[in-house]
Amino acid sequence: MNLSIRLPAASGALETYHVQGTPLEVRAPTREFNRIAYSAAHVVADPLRAGELNAEPAIDWERTILYRRYLLEQGLGIAEAMDTAQRGMGLPWKTALELITRSIEGTRDIPGAAIASGCGTDDIAPGSVSSCDEVIRAYGEQLEAVQRVGGRVILMASRALAKVARSPDDYRRVYREVLAMCDQPVILHWLGDMFDPELAGYWGAGQFPAAADVCLDIIAANASKVDGIKISLLDDEKEISFRRRLPASVKMYTGDDFNYPALIAGDGTHFSHALLGIFDAIAPAASQALAALSAGDSDTFNRLLAPTVPLSRHIFRAPTQYYKTGVVFLAYLNGFQDHVFMPGGHHGMRPPVYFADVFRLADQAGLLRDPADAVARIRKVMAPLGCGD
């Protein structure tokens, strides 16, 4: 292979990049995983039907469901209608419920397909909420809708609750009453303010140790209703300290897109399962690494995931909430969609050099499934900047 392209660099100039990676094969797993692994999945926009930024998003449903099938067929579960799908950042509750319903219906024929769906309070504007009772009702309405279509629940953090709660006891009460409505154990979600600034001070505490105490109290008091918790704080030490304190029946699902290999591998006593946005972008590496881990082959596990970490850290760099832009761009490079447009205009939230580095790092991780096509695709995007051979 002798492919090269001139791309923007951090220096502000164009630099020639020579494609060097060997694409990983996309295949079904060779053995059952010994970790539960959910990939939070993005949505494919339909730019021809899109309206203004405040209009209901236009979704290319066929490509959106095909992408979920691609993930499922590699042994990964789907974390549906989460922040990777721009939940609360371009994907309103009405469209999220349609996405959940279509995903469940559109993948029933895949043996063992695991789909867990985000349930929150985003059908009400935080500014319009004045009491915890309103938050409980909002959670209840979404719970009923998701459970009615047969969905397993991921109980998302609530911007509305963060606004109206006055103490940790408000969180204890809301989660107690909401969890009582759940018809099977759910996955809780602690989403850090680097992903969503409106969730600062969640659990009624400004600092991690106090917030962790409140969250663990809630889990212990409702353990029969909690399958596990996903923590997205991008801090491995916090996750490790937290998972050591979990009840034995409650799983830790890492949401740490910076440190996931070591957290999934574990420390010999504890380990984390996975519920990660980066698995959308690195599915072949994730699938094959998890199969290797299950076979006791930690060397292959680390060899496959190590080059994905620089890519993930780049995609999730600050401002972290715009990581979906990198995920969608990589799906475009790999031919899963023919454009880079996103609901809410999020394709415009990163500079050209960011996209160029997504290309470079994906290549180095073996994640460009057809390098020649990927070069042609990025050339189309970068052509106005003078990029070329």
Element (H or E) spanning 77, and its range? Answer: strand 77-80
- Specify whether domain 33-385 bears CATH 3.20.20.70: yes
Question: Helix, strand, or coil here: 31?
Answer: coil
The answer on pLDDT for 301 being more than 60 is yes
**Cα 262 vs. chain centroid, distance in angstroms?**
18
State how far the Cα of 145 lies from the Cα of 60, in Å rounded to an integer: 23
46, two tokens: 């339909």
For residue 203, is it left (φ>0), alpha (ψ between -120 and 50) or beta? left
CA distances from 45 to 63, 86, 169, 177 (A): 9, 11, 41, 36
The answer on pLDDT for 161 being more than 90 is yes
Provide the H-helix boundaries in 181-297.
Answer: 208-221, 236-243, 260-265, 278-281, 283-294
The pTM of this model reads 0.96
Mean pLDDT of 261-285: 97
The answer on pLDDT for 388 being more than 80 is no
pLDDT at 85: 97
pLDDT at 276: 98
> What are phi and psi for residue 157, nearest 5 degrees?
-65, 150
Digit-coded pLDDT (tens) for 223-249: 999 999 999 999 999 999 999 999 999
Q: Where are the domains of the chain?
A: 33-385
- Provide the pLDDT confidence category of residue 1 given band limits of 50, 70 and 90: low
